[in-house]
Amino acid sequence: MEQAFQVDLRGVVDLLSRHLYSSPRVYLRELLQNAVDAITARGGGPGTVRIETSGGGLRVHDDGIGLTEEEVHRLLATIGRSSKRDELGFARHDFLGQFGIGLLSGFLVADEIEVVTRSARDGAPKRAVRWTGYADGRYRVDPADRDAPGTTVSLRARPGSAELLRPEIVKGLARSYGSLLPVGLTVDGEAITGEGPVWQAAHPDPARRRRALDAYCQELYGFVPYDVIDLDVPEAGLTGVAFVLPQPVAPTARGAHRVYLKRMLLAENVEALLPEWAFFVRCVVDASELRPTASREALYEDELLESTRRALGERLRQWLVRLSETDPVRLRGFLRLHQLGVKAMALQDDDMLRIVDRWLDFETSAGPMTLAEFRRRHPKARYVTSVEEFRRLSAVSGAQGVGLVNGGYVHDTEIIERLPAIDPDAALLRLDAAELTTHFGVLDPAAELELRPFLAAAQRAVERLRCEVVIRDFDPASLPALYLTSRAAQYQEEMTEAREMADELWSDVLGALSGAVTADRPQLVLNHRNPLARRITSLTDEALIELAVQGLYGQALLYGRHPLRPADTAALNRSFLGLLEWAVHGTGGQESGEGT
């Protein structure tokens, strides 16, 4: 035997308030939507909506299509049923609400809802109807007096909800939700609606329009925008503006945008409107074709929203391209503020990559400079992928005439590696630190032969540190020693450390893996151009050579910001204490000799 579902209205209202709507404050938006939809259904003019507050209650009057008694029974008393249906001869997309639950939002603040309505439809009875609904699920329908077609919805606050029906709160909610509506909206006689969206207002003077938009942004978001970008997506019926933030913002921050649907506020913090990289703007838009979710507080994720998101991203990209062609100074100012967003765009878009290549400064061994200019000055330039490596090698590489770009910041390496997409000749090679030794000067054969005993002793001093000692001639002369390691040597060192920490089984596995890599050890490069390094190479006492070379080794690690292993720390401490003891002992011996 078939039976109808029994609905607990209190449970439904609790579901709406706790899980569908974010706040009971939306009750006024829902009542406004119903009123505006009724006016739309009637047609023939802009219509009016009057809200009156008195004695802790609220009334919403509209001069819309109204309902007959039969429609009252069929529509108001059935949850999920809506008059905005094709069955009444109206296209659903003409209306703000579509789900048939808007009137129930009145139960968020009241235990009783009264609707007095008279239909304006041709052939409908001329008498008015009063529908009274109660939060416990009951309702009644009675005859009513109403001279003109339209509807009046009346609420009386339940205990604990009076605050939401106070006149100043109602005015604020009406202004927030309905200030752009294409109807005459008043609250207690005060006009709420004005001339419509600010961005659509006709201004023959562009400067005057910009001042108006700046003031609008200041009022909404509390800042004067760096620039204003007009938005237009015809397929979504969308118009609006994007305000460029005048200060930097974290790229992880999701932009909260103000979205209107058919000029009724949907939400002030919609996040899915723009691509993720467009975090440097805040938008205000109105759309007629985008779909809201059931709560009408977010946009429904569908193909239209996705294509709208792409179209809005394209508008922002076009603005940047136009700025690069017409106002380079302003573009540079923007890039200083929001370079991360532009870099993120450049990873996907060749035009944006050209802008970054031509206008955005990167950190280089020759100072801040665009990639295009740096390549022009350094045809054989290199790049590194970490900030630490750049700081370690930039001075030395620059002194050898090897231009170096810091690719260690967010997106920089990816951008550098994407340059051939716009210019095959723009490729930069990644620097392997061991390459620098090929740019250093070598000693003449006689000097190198003379230093062989020292080199043998120096090699013994750092052998257990898995390092190779070489002597070269390079700038800057103030640097006595440099620690260089190739990527292969770094890999080998990491594998060796892992083997030492692993158990026997994994040690054998890692040993097999590391055996496939060509042996390559870091180099401690002594600078023969440095006076201290030259004096150390003239030492003959092997114990003193060991202390001095280990001291240079530790200093080179610290200078290059290399991580110190326990063995490195031990060698540095041993060198420091040994040299200190030698210095004290030597000074003491001189003083003793002078006293005799």
Write down the pLDDT at residue 595: 40
Residue 348's Cα: distance from chain center in Å?
A: 16
Question: How would CATH label the architecture of 360-431?
Answer: 3-Layer(aba) Sandwich (3.40)
CA distance 548 to 287: 75
Q: Is the pLDDT of residue 75 over 90?
A: no
Q: pLDDT class for 80, splitting at 50, 70, 90? A: low
- Element of type H or E holding 186: strand 184-187
- Give the residue with greater pLDDT, 154 vs 83: 154
Give tens-digit pLDDT for 244-255. Answer: 999 988 777 777
CA distance 57 to 184: 22
Q: Give the SS3 label for residue 249.
A: coil
Q: Which of 7-16, 87-96, 368-377 has the least mean pLDDT?
A: 87-96
Write down the pLDDT at residue 96: 42
Write down the pLDDT at residue 518: 43
Give tens-digit pLDDT for 493-543. Answer: 555 555 556 666 555 554 555 554 445 789 999 999 999 999 999 999 999
Give tens-digit pLDDT for 104-119. Answer: 888 889 999 999 999 9
In the 3-class helix/strand/coil scheme, how is 34-59 assigned residue by residue?
Answer: HHHHHHHHHCCCCCEEEEEEECCEEE
Write down the pLDDT at residue 585: 78
Here the tokens at position 151 are: 């509807």
CA distance 186 to 80: 29
What fold does the segment set 437-486+522-591 form as a domain?
Four Helix Bundle (Hemerythrin (Met), subunit A) (1.20.120)
Region 548-575 average pLDDT: 91
In the 3-class helix/strand/coil scheme, how is 294-357 assigned residue by residue?
Answer: CCCCCECCCHHHHHHHHHHHHHHHHHHHHHHHHCHHHHHHHHHHHHHHHHHHHCCCHHHHHHHH
Write down the pLDDT at residue 130: 95
Q: pLDDT class for 235, splitting at 50, 70, 90? A: very high
Whether 321 contacts 351, CB under 8 Å: yes
Write down the pLDDT at residue 593: 42
Average of per-residue pLDDT values in the chain: 86
Region 114-133 average pLDDT: 91
For residue 81, how many C-alpha atoms fall within 13 Å in the half-sphere facing its CB?
11
Region 451-475 average pLDDT: 93
Phi-psi region of 237 (alpha: psi -120 to 50; beta: other; left: phi over 0): left
For the chain, how big is the Rg over CA atoms in Å? 38
Whether 344 contacts 410, CB under 8 Å: no
CA distance 567 to 570: 5
Region 9-38 average pLDDT: 79
Q: Is the pLDDT of residue 146 over 60?
A: yes
Say how many C-beta atoms besides its own lie within 10 A of residue 386's C-beta: 13
Here the tokens at position 157 are: 């606050």
CA distance 14 to 122: 39
Q: Is the pLDDT of residue 42 over 70?
A: yes
The class of domain 198-312 in CATH terms is alpha beta
CA distance 510 to 39: 77
Q: pLDDT class for 98, splitting at 50, 70, 90? A: very low
Region 340-346 average pLDDT: 89
Q: pLDDT class for 492, splitting at 50, 70, 90? A: low
Q: What percent of the chain has pLDDT over 90?
A: 58
In the 3-class helix/strand/coil scheme, how is 384-448 assigned residue by residue?
Answer: ECCHHHHHHHHHHHHHCCCCEEECCCCCHHHHHHHHHHCCHHHCCEECCHHHHHHHCECCCHHHH
Q: Is the pLDDT of residue 592 over 70?
A: no
Write down the pLDDT at residue 271: 87
- All CATH 1.20.120.790 domain ranges of the chain, comma separated, are 437-486+522-591
Q: pLDDT class for 203, splitting at 50, 70, 90? A: confident
CA distance 464 to 369: 43
**Nearest residue to 179 (alpha-carbon basis) of 12, 32, 282, 19:** 32
**Nearest residue to 530 (alpha-carbon basis) of 461, 582, 590, 476:** 476
Q: Give the SS3 label for residue 382.
A: strand
Write down the pLDDT at residue 8: 66
Write down the pLDDT at residue 281: 94
- All CATH 3.30.565.10 domain ranges of the chain, comma separated, are 9-191
Q: pLDDT class for 194, splitting at 50, 70, 90? A: confident
**Nearest residue to 107 (alpha-carbon basis) of 14, 6, 7, 23:** 14
- All CATH 3.40.50 domain ranges of the chain, comma separated, are 360-431
**Nearest residue to 53 (alpha-carbon basis) of 166, 133, 164, 158:** 166
- All CATH 3.30.230.80 domain ranges of the chain, comma separated, are 198-312
Q: pLDDT class for 202, splitting at 50, 70, 90? A: confident
**Residue 204 per-residue DSSP state:** S
Q: With the CA atoms of 272, 273, 278 and 283 taken in that order, what torsion angle do they form, in degrees rounded to the nearest 10?
A: -130
Region 260-264 average pLDDT: 94
Give tens-digit pLDDT for 50-72. Answer: 999 998 899 999 999 999 998 88
Q: Is the pLDDT of residue 449 over 60?
A: yes
Here the tokens at position 19 are: 């899980």
Q: Give the SS3 label for residue 561.
A: coil
Q: What percent of the chain has pLDDT over 70?
A: 85
**Nearest residue to 284 (alpha-carbon basis) of 252, 261, 314, 301:** 261
Region 6-17 average pLDDT: 66
- Give the residue with greater pLDDT, 158 vs 242: 242
Write down the pLDDT at residue 283: 97
Q: Is the pLDDT of residue 416 over 60?
A: yes
Write down the pLDDT at residue 256: 84
Is the domain defined by 9-191 classed in CATH 3.90.1300.10? no
CA distance 220 to 326: 29
